[in-house]
Structure 1
Amino acid sequence: MTKNNYLFPFIMITSLFFMWGFVHNLDPILIPHLKRSFSLSTLEASLVDFSVFIAYFVMALPAGFIMKKYGYKSGIIIGLCLFAIGSFLFIPAANTQAYSFFLGALFIIACGLTILETAANPYASLLGPKETASFRLNLSQSFNGLAATLAPIIGSRIIMIKGVSDEELSTMTVSAQQLTLASEASSVKTPYLVLGAIILLITLVFLFIKLPEIKETEVDGDEKRGILHALAHKHLRWAIAAQFFYVGAQVCVLSLFVLYATTAVGFDQQQAGEYAGYGMGLAFLIGRIIGTSLMKFIKAELLLVIYSVICVILCAFAMATVGTLALISVTGVAFFMSIMFPTIFSLGIKDLGNDTKYGSSLIIMSIVGGALLPLAMGYISDISSIQIGYIVPLVCFLVVLAFGWTGHKVVKTN
């Protein structure tokens, strides 16, 4: 397959990065929206992230088996179908007014995203020379950053409808409160209906286009090797740990930003929701673009170390400051953490050969950090403050720092 033959498949794969980035970055809007609608604690509202990211733990290995047996294209189509089904389930979830139904719909969406990410991340990195794998994956992930900018802005204007104030709500009867909050909760129907329809159209495109099936380099006996053989690679084990903590940090910072901004910065919910897009999302996007460009001159692992150190410092500022300085600190974290996921991923699957698909599954499986670590931050926030909760992402970035410093190094295995 020539370089030109890779172009259209690469464009289509990159579109998937945008779509899952968009739905993920509606979560920072959903969390405060559902928190108000169902009168939840911060820990209970964090179950939104738990429902999404626990799916990565449950589905990552089955996704790897699908890719191993049926190939990348089949995995992409299955993932898109689950994505669409989960989006459409938001309509009955809003109708029934059950928080658990919302969590179930999010879980199904995330099962689809797990399969998509298990397929698309290695596929993007393998569509070309391995020397430029990190650059190529960061380029695709830049569209994930674009989604991180657009989704909160769009979501805050559609989902966070101007309802009654908390003061007005407190003067209502219980039944009136329930009707008012139910009306606000139903605002999720339209965006998820539109999202599901778009995903169905993309699924149809993938059904009819021809994608090259990338074959990783094999050696004798590789076809009989499985997950345990993949785990024999030390740098893969490090990558799994680093990705667990990185995704946990990313979810803590982005998904709980609205709650942080209303507390530490003084924004109201809609201001915070919009800033999650044009502030945090745009910082994430610009950071991804600049970081991708810098990788032409700086080794990916060195850039990962530098950015990790900066993120640790900025998290400390986010814990200790309020107002404008606090806002600058968390926005800086969004900028400097932007390259971490694709860089950890590409370094983690480097030189895995026929273990690549299993290695990819294991790294995707480690995204479960996004389910568990925000619960820790939510708990700390409930017993102290959301600013003190930033100790969680601070520790996470220290683990990423260790991976960039030494854990990424490939040790040859038999």
Structure 2
Amino acid sequence: MAMIDTTVGGTDTSSLATAKVQRLSLFVFALFFIFGSLTSLNDILVPKLKSLFDLSYTEAMLVQSAFFFAYFVASIPAGLLIARIGYMKAAVVGLLTMAAGCLLFIPATSSALFPTFLGALFILAVGVTTVQVVANPLLSLLGPSSTAHSRLTLAQGFNSLGTTVAPYIGAILILGALNAVDTSTLSSSELAAFLAEEASVISTTYAGIALIICLVALVVWLQRNQLKSSPKAESHNFLSTLDLLKQPRFALGAACIFLYVGAEVSIGSLMTDYLTLPTTMNLAPELAGKHVAYYWGGAMVGRFIGSALLRRFSPGKLLAFAAT
């Protein structure tokens, strides 16, 4: 199994011209913003699909399960793709896969079947995974290794900017009509028409997102020669990479990320429905969805502050402080 060496053509990218590094950094920050936006939009999609298909909380959370299962499936193939065609072309592949996933919401809406939405989300997440596998190592190369932690944290700040903006806009576009009609007063035919109209809001929103992503992919394609060499690929058996889990610090770090992401995603996904309950804040769905932006906004503030602090303090000390 090929593993990526974070050098381009065997040489560190610090030899790149400063202007080129700045352009590539802006490109990577934009990627972090895009996949952050799409990931947090699931927090708006969960209550929408729960309402449309009358799902339980367990069934509704399959939205996130389908999305994040793609990370498990696609991460290693994405690394192999980068080793074969390079960072920029792999980014284009990831972006176009994301656009394809967004467009699949159109037939999913027509079918009116919940599993088809899950399939569209999985394809979308495969693209997101590919873009993330491109962005993280590429950004670490665009500057001195001593400040890589700071750059990655700053990029996560732009990721959080996307996760903050997207739920607010998504709540307006997707959840706005959930409380406009009392479905208990509708006949069967009226209810079917209402649900079809509500589902079309999802497909229209994601079709617009697909158009934006395609435009970004075009820009990236035109800049594909900014890095003319591909990262080196070192041959490893996949099972041998699992030996990393025998290292306690690596294994515990992976477990921490697993638990952290699970908690972070679950809170954001269930927040909208929780805030609409009469026993909590009894908010309208659109307003409750907007409150998700405050949750992710807190992460954004913390990451921008963390980026600055990492230039003054060691990552280990900051991690220990944040964990206490």
2:269 maps to 255
The match for 2:214 among 200, 215, 220 is 200
Deviations 1:286-327 (A, max 9, x none): 121112112222322222233233xxxxxxxxxxxxxxxxxx
1:177 has 2:191 as partner: yes
The match for 1:303 among 296, 312, 318 is 318
2:163 maps to 148
Amino acid at match of 1:99: F
**Aligned partners of 2:76, 2:147: CA distance in 1, in Å?**
27
Shift of 1:77: 1.5
Which runs of 5 or more structure 1 residues have no equivalent in the other structure? 310-414
1:105 has 2:120 as partner: yes
The match for 1:276 among 292, 300, 311 is 292
Alpha carbons of structure 1 residues 158 and 165: separation in structure 2 relative to 1, 3 Å = closer
Alpha carbons of structure 1 residues 223 and 61: separation in structure 2 relative to 1, 3 Å = closer
Amino acid at match of 1:35: K
**More off after superposition, 156-165 vs 180-189:** 156-165
SS of the equivalent of 2:311 reads: coil
Structure 2 matches for 1:223-262, cutoff 5 A?
Answer: 223-233=234-244, 234=247, 235-262=249-276
TM-score (norm 1): 0.68
Q: Alignment length, in residue pairs?
A: 303
Alpha carbons of structure 1 residues 22 and 211: separation in structure 2 relative to 1, 3 Å = same
1:64 maps to 79
**More off after superposition, 234-243 vs 110-119:** 234-243
**Aligned partners of 1:70, 1:186: CA distance in 2, in Å?**
37
Shift of 1:213: 6.0
Alpha carbons of structure 1 residues 75 and 204: separation in structure 2 relative to 1, 3 Å = same
Structure 2 matches for 1:152-171, cutoff 5 A?
Answer: 152-163=167-178, 168-171=182-185
2:111 maps to 96
Contact 1:127 1:214 in 2 (8 A): no
Shift of 1:117: 0.7
Shift of 1:153: 0.9
Shift of 1:44: 0.5
Alpha carbons of structure 1 residues 291 and 91: separation in structure 2 relative to 1, 3 Å = same
Shift of 1:143: 1.1
SS of the equivalent of 1:256 reads: helix
**Aligned partners of 2:250, 2:82: CA distance in 1, in Å?**
19
**Aligned partners of 2:228, 2:317: CA distance in 1, in Å?**
32
Q: Identity over aligned residues, as a percent?
A: 35
Which runs of 5 or more structure 2 residues have no equivalent in the other structure? 1-14
1:350 maps to none
Contact 1:161 1:184 in 2 (8 A): no
Amino acid at match of 2:168: I
